[in-house]
A = this chain, B = another copy of it.
Amino acid sequence: MKDRAASIGTKERLLRAGEQLFRTRGYAGASLKQLTQAAGAPWGSAYHFFPDGKEQLGVEVVRQAGDFYGDGWRESFDRADGPGDAIERVFRAEARILEASDYRNGCPVASVTLDTASTSEALRSACASAFEVWLRAIEGGLRKAGASDGEATALAGFVLSAIEGAIVLSRAAKSPAPLLQSAAFVREVVDRRAEDWRAARANPVQTESSERG
Q: Chain A interface (Cβ within 8 Å of chain B)?
A: 24-29, 103-104, 106, 109-111, 113-119, 124, 127-128, 131-132, 153-155, 157-158, 160-169, 171-174, 177-179, 181-182, 184-186, 188-189, 213
Contacts and interface: CB of A to CB of B under 8 A. Distances in A.
Contacts of A168: 110, 113-114, 161, 164-165, 168
> What are the 8 tightest A-B residue pairs by CB atom distance, in nearest-first order?
A165-B165, A164-B165, A28-B29, A161-B165, A28-B28, A161-B166, A157-B181, A26-B115
A158 B163 CA distance: 9
Contacts of A128: 172-174
Contacts of A27: 26, 29
B117 A115 contact: no
Copies of this protein chain in the complex? 2
Contact of A29 (B103, B115, B153, B157): B115
Contact of A158 (B111, B113, B162): B162
Nearest to A114: B111
A158 B182 CA distance: 4
A205 B118 CA distance: 54
